[in-house]
Structure 1
Amino acid sequence: MNYSKKDIDRYFEGKLSKKEAKDFLNWLNSSEGESTYNAIIEDIWSDESGTVDILSEANTPQIPSYSQKIVSLDTLKRSENFNAKKKSRSIKLWVSVAASFILLISVSYIFNLNTTFQQVEEPIVSKEVKTIEKFTPKGNKKIITLPDGSTVVLNAESKLTYSDDFVQNRIITLEGEGFFDVVRDEDHPFQVITGNISTTALGTSFNIKAYEGNPDIQVSLATGKVRVENSFDQNLLEIQPGEAVYYSEEKNILKKQEVDLSQVLSWKEGVLQFEKVPFNQIIEDLERWYGVDFRVIGDEKIPDYKCSGTFKPHEYLSNVLEVLSYSIEFDYKINGKEVILEFK
């Protein structure tokens, strides 16, 4: 691309954009640009209307345009020492000084341009953190792989909630029951929130049961070590494999005791197991396990019994109810997703 005297004036007047100025400097550094620029200088000096007096402006901080530097040729002729030889020397001097001047201006312009780029702060773009939810309905279980590589076996009617920056912020909320197998990351502890109870681990595996309506939250450790803390009073307990922490919402206390892990984790293998569990809680577990709803008819209420039992993997609901009815004495009827109980 060729540039005219008008374009050069616009450069010195600061009327070019950053891109245009950069393109101009690239052109000026080329052989074509240098030749064209020198020709323009010669034209200015040979123009009878005037010449350029750059020396009179040497100490001027502003960069004037060529049109502002043209003075009358008659003024120069009035000088005793003005002659063609001096004019030739002046042209060469002007060209030399102008070239140096252009180089200085170019370097200064690029330096200032870079300095400006360095000083301008990039606007802070706040990334909206998105919430991710994983849910299992009644009668279903699911294995979930988290963004950091940790896995969760999520029991029926349970929900996990975490943010999409989980790798850097390993905080997850659980409603229901889940077995966590945590990838170790000492810089980012793994934290599970269940109500006001938080369970913190690095690399370990543990089970948490915290269904809504259940009076207790149970944290059972399979491997490693975890810390369980009550956010209400900052009371905390650390447990070892084979131990569990029970939290009583009614009493607001944490209690540690040993547990049978095979029983606690049997649900993962499809084994239904109860150990002195109130019958009304068993009904809730059966609703989640089989994806049904129970309805009691008649005048009798659900008796306040505690039951124990272990059923083979993926046992039919009818077989479970049959066994329970022997000890509690009730009649049952299964209508699709509804189970009717009538106590005798």
Structure 2
Amino acid sequence: MPMEFDPESELDFLKNPLFVKWVKQPTQHTDRYWENWSRKYPEKINVMLNAKELAKRLKPQEENKIDKAKFEAGLDRLLEKNNNELETPSPTFAYKRKESRHFWTWGNSVAASILLIGMLFMAYNWINRSTGTIPTTKNVAIISRTVSKGVKKTFMLPDSSMVTLNSGSTISYPKDFAENRQIKLVGQAFFDVKNDSDHPFSIKSGDLVTTVLGTSFDVKAYEGQSNFHVAVVTGKVKVATQDGIETEIVPTEATYYDAESGAISKGKYDYEELLGWKEKILKFDDASYREVFRILSNWYDVDFELDSEFTLKGNYTGRFEDQMLENVLKGMEYSTDIQFELKGKKVMVSKKSTLPNQ
């Protein structure tokens, strides 16, 4: 988010998707950015406050269904209304701010009314073109692929790219995907993307948008979880957050994103720990038991129930390759003080009992 943003009018603010995003869904990062920006440009605070009020009236992108004909019809109705009210005094509303006071008059100014609608309309169009979200294409069907818990599946996309979905994951993409290579992912998937410089390949997963031309990489963004990652095997990808923070990663590098704090970092990764699932490898490196049970639950389609009198302590490290759930649980029992009991699709977790010496 460059500090060189130097707007001349409210429209410049509304054309900035980061400003609109801040007004609609502020975060600690964006609050701090716009606070610093205000200190740098104190003479433009009034313009910013005006734009903020206008931005609050913007509808979410998915609700923006207005087309050119409807927009022009709305202008005609507005002009007619203002012509009928030219002889009627207009109310004046005070708009209060710190250190200054300005007055806005609405109703008897056709130009002001047209400017407001025009600014909103232009902002809608600009945001639709500029944000990292996947736009909805009119009359284009959306195809969804879902893999249930306990199952993994590999298939080919319409552009000949390959995708492997991990358990409990879903992807969706437009029917004209070969020309519009945009995917929405919930869960985890490995992509081997066919190179096509004319049609960039992008994936929206939670707050992250990953853009590539041709490469292979893993994306993890399960619903209800705050820790996401993008790990590159070949090529290069760009990862961007909704707050406008971007980073590029190359082979052996991964981007880690915390959805709760908005923090993003980059570093090396352990292949088996992040991508071993494709080869049926489970690897835990000092992982919390909560994370271990969550992964096992998704991998084997079971639920873990903890004994109310038992408190899990410490973390777990272990590796299993192509093993049944029973073998995994036995392996964990051998190296911990935990006892498991498998009942159908439930795993009862309790403290390992100690038998007296005989």
TM-score (norm 1): 0.60
The equivalent of 1:200 in structure 2 is: 211
Which of the residues 274, 281, 294 maps onto 1:271?
A: 281
User: Which structure has the bigger radius of gyration?
Assistant: 1
Gaps of 5+ in 2: 1-136, 353-358
Give the CA deviation at 1:343: 2.9
1:79 maps to what in 2? Answer: none
> What pairs with 1:100-179 in structure 2 (closer than 5 Å)?
128-179=139-190
Distance 1:305 1:236, change over 3 A: same
Which residue of structure 2 lines up, in the alignment, with residue 249 of structure 1? 259
Cross-structure match for 1:84: none
Residues 28-43 of structure 1: pairs in structure 2 closer than 5 A: none
C-alpha separation in 2, matches of 1:325 and 1:318: 11
**RMSD, matched Cα:** 1.6
Residue 213 of structure 1, aligned match among 220, 224, 249: 224
Deviations 1:114-149 (A, max 9, x none): xxxxxxxxxxxx962111111111110000211111
Aligned to 1:35: none
1:126-173 deviation per Cα after TM superposition (whole angstroms, max 9, x unaligned) = 962111111111110000211111111100011101111111111101
Instruction: Identify the residue that residue 318 of structure 1 maps to in structure 2.
Output: 326
1:294 corresponds to 2:309:
no
Show CA shifts across 1:83-114 (max 9, x none).
xxxxxxxxxxxxxxxxxxxxxxxxxxxxxxxx
Q: Secondary structure at the match of 2:204?
A: strand
Structure 2 counterpart of 1:240, which letter?
A: V
CA distance in 2, matches of 1:147, 1:275: 37
SS in 2 for 1:265: helix
Using the alignment, how far apart are the partners of 2:298 and 2:145 within structure 1?
16
Deviation at 1:327, TM superposition (A): 3.9
User: Structure 1's 179 and 331: CA in aligned 2 closer, same or farther, altered over 3 A?
Assistant: same
Other-structure match for 1:108: none
Q: Alpha-carbon deviation of 1:304?
A: 4.4
1:305 and 1:326 mapped to 2: Cα distance? 16
The 8 Å contact of residues 138 and 157 in structure 1, kept in 2 or not, is answered as yes
1:187 is aligned to 198
3-state SS in 2 of match to 1:295: strand
Secondary structure, aligned partner of 2:278: helix
Residue identity matched to 2:325? L
Q: Does structure 1 retain, via aligned residues, the 8 Å contact 2:339–2:349?
A: yes
State the alpha-carbon separation in 2 of the partners of residues 213 and 304 from structure 1: 24
CA contact (8 A) 2:236 2:250 kept: yes
Distance in 2 separating the partners of 1:287 and 1:216: 17
Corresponding residue for residue 339 of structure 2: 331
For 1:173, what is the secondary structure of its paired residue? strand
Helix, strand or coil at the partner of 2:151: coil
8 Å Cα contact 1:293-1:337 kept in structure 2: yes
The residue that corresponds to 1:308 in the other structure is 317
d(CA) in 2 for partners of 1:195, 1:304 = 31
Q: Structure 2-normalised TM-score? A: 0.58
Per-residue CA deviations over 1:183-202 (Å, capped at 9, x if unaligned) read: 01111100011111000000
In 2: Cα distance, 1:291 partner to 1:263 partner: 20
Aligned residue for 1:67?
none
Residues 9-158 of structure 1 aligned to structure 2 (within 5 Å): 128-158=139-169
Structure 2 contact 217–230 (Cα < 8 Å) conserved: yes
Measure how far apart 1:297 and its partner are.
2.7
Residue type at the aligned position of 1:266 = G
SS in 1 for 2:327: helix
Contact 2:159/2:194 (8 A) holds in 1: yes
Change (3 A) 1:304 1:147: farther
Letter in 2 for 1:282: V
User: Which amino acid in 2 is paired with 1:309?
Assistant: G
Alpha-carbon distance between aligned partners in 2 of 1:209 and 1:187, rounded to the nearest angstrom: 26
Sort the Cα spacing of 1:213 and 1:329 in 2 relative to 1 into closer, same or farther, 3 A: farther
Q: How far off is 1:211 after superposition? A: 1.5
Deviation at 1:339, TM superposition (A): 1.4
Between the aligned partners of 1:174 and 1:297, the Cα distance in structure 2 is 35
Deviations 1:294-325 (CA, angstroms, capped at 9, x unpaired): 22233224x24321111122x02112112222
Contact (CA 8 Å) 1:298, 1:343: kept in 2 or not? no
Q: Name whichever of 326-335 and 173-182 sits farther off.
A: 326-335
Aligned positions, number: 216
Q: Report the residue type matching 1:155 in the other structure.
A: N
How far apart, in 1, do the equivalents of 2:319 and 2:276 lie?
10
8 A contact 1:280–1:304 mirrored in 2: no
Q: Which moved more, 1:259-268 or 1:167-176?
A: 259-268
For residue 169 of structure 1, give the secondary structure of its aligned residue in structure 2. coil
